Amino acid sequence: MNLPPMVTPRAFARLAEINAGGPGPALRVAVLGGGCSGFQYDIRMDEPAAEDLVLEGEGQRVVVDPVSLPFLAGARIDWSDELIGARFTIDNPNASSSCGCGTSFSI
């Protein structure tokens, strides 16, 4: 059985800031074909679809579509705020390699 992705409290807190503390659009995390390593992450604000896995915390939602779910099994979705930039990050145990920018990976 595959474990669903996990969202850190820091990621939910940043999502709450984006949505001004109220329930706003969800953060969609998806995997698409392409990128320099074969697959790439698509991270955006979106409304949940009926078939999505919905992860909830701090009154916020992160959604993953059923096609992307196997690629994100056991992954950790976090918020990183560093000198080089701030962004949602994914630590994916299924990825065998990733590109320098961290948005594409291979399995």
Residue pLDDT, tens place only, 50-87: 999 999 999 999 999 999 999 999 999 999 998 878 89
Q: Is 9 exposed, middle or buried (0-12, 13-18, 19+ CB in 10 A)?
A: exposed
Please write the tens of the pLDDT for every residue from 28-46: 999 988 766 678 889 999 9
CB 31 within 8 A of CB 40: yes
Residue 16 has pLDDT above 70, yes or no: yes
Between these two residues, 101 and 5, which has the higher pLDDT value? 5
pTM to 2 decimals?
0.84
Residues 6+ apart with CB under 8 A from 100: none
CATH code of the domain occupying 6-19+27-95: 2.60.300.12
Strand partners, 27: 45, 62
The pLDDT assigned to 100 comes to 52
